[in-house]
Amino acid sequence: MNYFEKWERSILASYSTPSIVLVKGSGVKVIDEHGKEYLDFLAGIAVNSLGHAHPAIVKAVTKQVETLGHVSNLAINKPSVDLAMKLLDLLQMPGGRIFFCNSGAEANEAAFKLARAYKPESEMVSVEGGFHGRTMGALSVTGQPEKQEPFKPLLSNVRFAKMNDATSIDSAINPKTGGIWLESIQGEAGVIPATAEFISASFRAAEQNNALIVMDEVQTGIARTGNWFGFEKFGVKPHLVPLAKGLGGGIPIGALAVQDSLVEAIKPGGHGTTFGGNPIGAAAGLAVIETIEQLDLMKHVQLAEVKIRELLENEHGVVEVRGSGLLLGVVLSGNYAKLVEENARQNGLIVNAVRPNVIRLAPPLIVTMDEIKEGMDVLRNAIIKSMEVVS
């Protein structure tokens, strides 16, 4: 019995059976069970910030697991406190607090509860196309009906505004609104950047109605866009910031950053999670941030974006390249993204058909210019071959 058969006999079919079995990774490259090598331009969906088996993460996690693996929140562990303080510094949230959890969905669940605690019985506002997780609270503010429909009824009193429509978001927010969910880039909707006008309208309406802005940085945070956080380019200060994915560099961790004015909204016992603040995950998070700083990876990410755009824009079959940093969407001239994904994989490049006409690129932040050129050569050829099939 091969591993595809084992997967289908043992793993719940919440995902389609994958097309490859990966057994090893180093840097931007991964190797399957047959020894075939791939350039990984998805990075575990924007998770593996430093690529695979990065020495800084290996060293930090090994040292921590040999020292102290888990203590629960009945005791303080130093790595989680150090990471919390570092995140608050990067977020410029003096007086704020961090709640640690295990994933982006959990971080959004915590934000939902905190918004309700701040304004009891309040309504929530989110954006069509937005994605905030698959647990019931996070799913309730996820603006993708195909993901919601099988699990209704969800949490009630959630309104949805149209993405990048300032009038729509202004109309959706009222004095009953408790929390407003935004993303600087909607990754799961096809890598759609928010406009400055839309973000400004959202923050203005939130202030007028005493509502909280939840800026979901699960996919865009931790230097993915060329800044520490995607919201920075708008010059705004959100009340709540869910984080996960790239923070752990491959080790599961989530976090919710809470602005200083809200730290009393949740009292001891009001929320919790057994593994939140696990010292191993926190050690990985510290290693990721320290490495980004030491290698000046934010500047590198900005240059990498320029290189990818140079290699793809104006190419046959490419309508546009959108997004920021190393979270980019290659918009195709037709709905053949899945063919492009499959063809690229066959030729040693892992990308993601996030929408029928959009390929998502989210390589590790350490990707080199040579690896970018190699990967984009494969992607261009995959686009051309896929166009030939559908024409």
Yes or no: say if 280 and 61 are a contact pair by the CB < 8 Å rule: yes
Q: Which residues, in sequence order, are bridge partners of residue 181?
A: 214
Which residues contact residue 222 at a Cβ distance below 8 angstroms, ignoring those fewer than 6 apart? 49, 228, 229, 243, 245, 246, 247, 288, 289, 292
Q: Look at strands 158-161 and 123-127 and give their pairing.
A: parallel
Asked whether the predicted pLDDT for residue 38 surpasses 90, the reply is yes
The whole-angstrom separation of Cα 383 and Cα 341 is: 9
d(CA 86, CA 72): 21
264 shares a domain with 165: yes
Burial classification of residue 385, based on how many CB atoms lie within 10 Å of its CB (0-12 exposed, 13-18 middle, 19 or more buried) = middle
pLDDT band at residue 340 using 50, 70 and 90 as cut-offs: very high
pTM for this entry: 0.97
pLDDT tens-digit map of 279-336: 999 999 999 999 999 999 999 999 999 999 999 999 999 999 999 999 999 999 999 9
Instruction: Give the model confidence (pLDDT) of 102-118 as tens digits.
Output: 999 999 999 999 999 99
Query: Quick one: pLDDT at residue 310?
Result: 98
Express each pLDDT in 197-210 by its tens digit.
999 999 999 999 99
Neighbours of 293 (CB within 10 A): 14
Q: Is the pLDDT of residue 186 over 90?
A: yes
Number of structural domains found in the chain: 2
- Asked if 8 and 49 sit in the same domain, the reply is yes
Domain termination site, one of 267, 294, 321: 294
Both structure tokens of 330: 């290659």
- Say if CB 169 and CB 197 are below 8 A apart: no
Residues 125, 230 within the same domain: yes
Rg (CA), the chain: 21
Structure token digits, residue 131: 């994605």
Mean pLDDT, to the nearest integer, of 360-380? 98
Same domain (yes/no): 275, 175: yes
pLDDT at residue 390, as a whole number? 87
Report how far residue 273's alpha carbon sits from residue 75's, in angstroms, rounded to the nearest whole number.
14
In a 3-state reduction of DSSP, which class is residue 243? strand
CA distance 271 to 276: 11
Indicate if 209 and 300 belong to the same structural domain. Answer: no
User: Do 182 and 169 meet the contact criterion of CB atoms below 8 Å apart?
Assistant: no
- Looking at the fold, whether 241 and 326 belong to one and the same domain comes out as no
* Separation of alpha carbons 229 and 6, rounded Å: 40
Mean pLDDT of 338-350: 98
Same domain? For 230 and 134 the reply is yes
**High-pLDDT (> 90) share of the chain, %:** 97
Q: What is the pLDDT of residue 156?
A: 87
Looking at the structure, tell me whether residues 289 and 330 fall in a common domain.
no
**Which pLDDT score, from 0 to 100, does residue 391 have?**
79
Per-residue pLDDT, 25: 98
d(CA 37, CA 144): 35
The whole-number pLDDT of residue 111 equals: 98
**Residue 85 is part of a domain; what is its CATH number?**
3.40.640.10
Pair 230, 367 in one domain = no
Judge if 217 and 361 occupy the same domain: no
pLDDT band at residue 258, thresholds of 50, 70 and 90? very high
Residue 376, CA distances (Å) to 132, 349, 367 in order: 30, 9, 12
**CA–CA separation, 52 vs 385, rounded Å?**
30
Question: Are residues 243 and 265 located together in one domain of the fold?
Answer: yes
pLDDT (mean) for 242-271: 96
Domain boundary among 242, 261, 294: 294
Pairing of strands 177-182, 123-127: parallel
| 279/307 same-domain check | no
pLDDT band at residue 383 under the 50/70/90 scheme = very high
pLDDT tens profile 290-300: 999 999 999 99
- How far apart, in whole angstroms, are the C-alpha atoms of residue 93 and residue 128? 29
Q: Are 131 and 220 in contact (CB under 8 A)?
A: no
Q: Which domain holds residue 16?
A: 3-54+296-390
Residue that finishes a domain, picked among 279, 294, 309: 294
Average pLDDT estimate for 345-373: 98
Residue found under tokens 């949805």: 160
CATH of the domain at 358: 3.90.1150.10
